C-alpha cells in the first residue's frame, strides 16, 4: 500500500529542499563556492531524478561541471570542504619582507625624518635653477592636526621584521604569530622562551575551515574526504563544523541531517 500519491511526495520533497536551501543561504560559514557545492548536493539528493548507476554525489559532480582548464570542479570543492585548521597568512614561513612590522615595544616616539636630497658636493657645482623654488602650498582646514603615527599609537617598533615567533592558544590550539626586526632579536628570543612551555601544552588546533557537508547530509564523509584530499587526516573534533567547539566553548546547536547514500 502506498504511503502517499506522487504529487504529495513531490510536494514533500520540494518543501524539504526549500528548507535546506534556506539554511544554506543563511549559513554565514558558507562562501560562494561552498554554497554552490551544498546547493548542488541538496538538489541531487532531494529533487534531481535518479540516474542509472549514479548516486547523488555523481549527479552533483555532473551539475557542477568543469573549470577553465577542464578539471572537474566537484573534486576541488570537496577537497576544500575537508575539515582542517588553516593558520593566518602571516604565521607561515613566507618572505619576511612582506611580514607585519616589528612588535617590540617602542622606546621613544617615532619622528618623521625626510631623506636628504642627493646633490652636488659644493655650491659651485650646483646647476643654476631655471625657475625660483617656491614653498609648497598645503591646503588644510583650520586647526588641522596630523594623524598620530601608528607606531606611536600602538607603542611598537614597526620596523621591517626578520624573526617570527609562533604562540599557540591554550584553548583553541590556534597559532598567534609575533614578528620582530633584527634590532630586537633578543626580544624575540625572550618571547620564544616564554611561549615554549605553553606551545607544548596547547591542544590540537580546532578546525576553522570546511566541515559544512556533514552539517547537512549524513554520509561516509571521511572516506569521501580521503579520496579527494590526499594526505588529509580527520581532526579529533569531528567532521561536522556544527560539532566543533568555539573559542568561547559555546556549543553549536544540533541540526537534523539528510542521509545521503553514496553508491
Say whether pLDDT at 120 is over 60. Answer: no
Say whether pLDDT at 99 is over 90. Answer: no
Which stretches within 112-258 are classed as H helix? 150-154, 185-201, 213-216, 221-228
Can you say whether the dihedral through the CA atoms of 243, 246, 248, 249 is positive or negative?
positive
Lowest mean pLDDT among 73-87, 92-106, 202-216: 92-106
Task: Tell how far CA 210 is from the center of its chain.
Answer: 10
Higher-pLDDT residue of 263 and 177 is 177
Helix-, strand-, coil-residue percentages of the chain, each rounded to 5: 40, 10, 50
For the stretch 219-255, pLDDT in tens is 999 999 999 999 999 999 999 999 999 877 634 445 5
Lowest mean pLDDT among 21-25, 137-141, 228-232: 137-141
Q: So what's the pLDDT on residue 61?
A: 95
* 199: three-class secondary structure by DSSP: helix
Q: So what's the pLDDT on residue 251?
A: 44
Task: Tell how far CA 102 is from the center of its chain.
Answer: 23
The pLDDT-based confidence of 22 (bands split at 50, 70, 90) is very high
Residue 222: exposed, middle, or buried by beta-carbon count in 10 A (0-12, 13-18, 19+)? middle
* pLDDT average, residue stretch 114-130: 59
Whole-number average pLDDT of the chain: 83
Task: Tell how far CA 34 is from the center of its chain.
Answer: 13
Running DSSP on this structure, what letter comes out for residue 92? S
Higher-pLDDT residue of 186 and 153 is 186
Widest Cα–Cα separation across the chain: 110
* pLDDT average, residue stretch 67-82: 96
Residue 243: exposed, middle, or buried by beta-carbon count in 10 A (0-12, 13-18, 19+)? middle
Tell me the CB-side half-sphere exposure of residue 163, using CA atoms within 13 A: 17
Lowest mean pLDDT among 1-15, 72-86, 95-109, 246-260: 246-260
The pLDDT-based confidence of 157 (bands split at 50, 70, 90) is confident
In sequence order, the 6+-apart residues with CB closer than 8 A to the CB of 29 are 212, 241
Q: So what's the pLDDT on residue 135?
A: 67
Q: So what's the pLDDT on residue 252?
A: 40
Q: How far apart are CA 214 and CA 211, in angstroms?
A: 6
pTM score of the predicted model: 0.73
The pLDDT-based confidence of 115 (bands split at 50, 70, 90) is low
Q: Look-up: residue for cell 547514500?
A: 261
For the stretch 160-205, pLDDT in tens is 888 899 999 999 999 999 999 998 999 999 999 999 999 999 999 9
Q: So what's the pLDDT on residue 10?
A: 79
Domain boundaries, the chain: 6-85+208-259, 87-109+148-205
The pLDDT-based confidence of 93 (bands split at 50, 70, 90) is low
Q: So what's the pLDDT on residue 2?
A: 45
Q: So what's the pLDDT on residue 12?
A: 85
Amino acid at each position: 500500500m502506498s504511503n502517499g500519491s506522487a504529487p504529495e511526495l513531490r510536494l514533500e520533497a520540494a518543501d524539504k529542499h526549500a528548507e535546506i536551501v534556506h539554511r544554506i543561504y543563511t549559513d554565514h560559514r558558507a562562501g560562494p563556492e561552498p554554497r554552490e557545492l551544498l546547493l548542488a548536493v541538496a538538489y541531487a539528493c532531494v529533487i534531481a531524478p535518479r540516474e542509472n548507476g549514479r548516486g547523488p554525489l555523481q549527479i552533483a559532480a555532473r551539475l557542477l561541471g568543469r573549470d577553465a582548464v577542464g578539471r572537474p570542479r566537484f573534486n576541488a570543492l570537496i577537497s576544500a570542504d575537508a575539515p582542517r585548521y588553516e593558520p593566518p597568512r602571516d604565521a607561515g614561513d613566507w618572505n619576511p619582507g612582506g611580514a607585519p612590522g616589528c612588535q617590540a615595544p617602542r622606546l621613544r616616539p617615532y619622528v618623521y625624518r625626510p631623506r636628504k636630497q642627493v646633490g652636488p658636493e659644493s655650491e659651485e657645482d650646483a646647476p643654476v635653477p631655471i625657475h625660483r623654488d617656491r614653498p609648497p602650498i598645503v591646503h588644510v582646514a583650520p586647526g588641522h592636526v596630523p594623524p598620530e603615527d601608528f607606531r606611536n599609537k600602538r607603542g611598537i617598533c614597526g620596523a621591517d621584521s626578520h624573526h617570527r615567533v609562533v604562540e599557540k592558544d591554550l584553548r583553541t590550539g590556534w597559532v598567534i604569530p609575533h614578528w620582530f626586526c633584527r634590532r630586537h632579536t633578543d626580544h624575540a628570543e625572550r618571547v620564544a622562551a616564554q611561549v615554549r612551555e605553553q606551545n607544548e601544552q596547547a591542544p590540537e588546533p580546532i578546525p576553522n575551515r570546511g566541515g559544512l557537508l556533514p552539517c547537512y547530509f549524513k554520509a561516509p564523509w571521511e572516506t569521501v574526504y580521503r579520496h579527494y584530499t590526499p594526505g588529509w587526516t580527520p581532526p579529533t573534533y569531528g567532521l561536522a563544523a556544527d560539532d566543533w567547539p568555539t573559542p568561547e566553548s559555546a556549543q553549536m546547536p544540533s541540526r537534523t541531517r539528510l542521509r545521503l547514500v553514496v553508491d
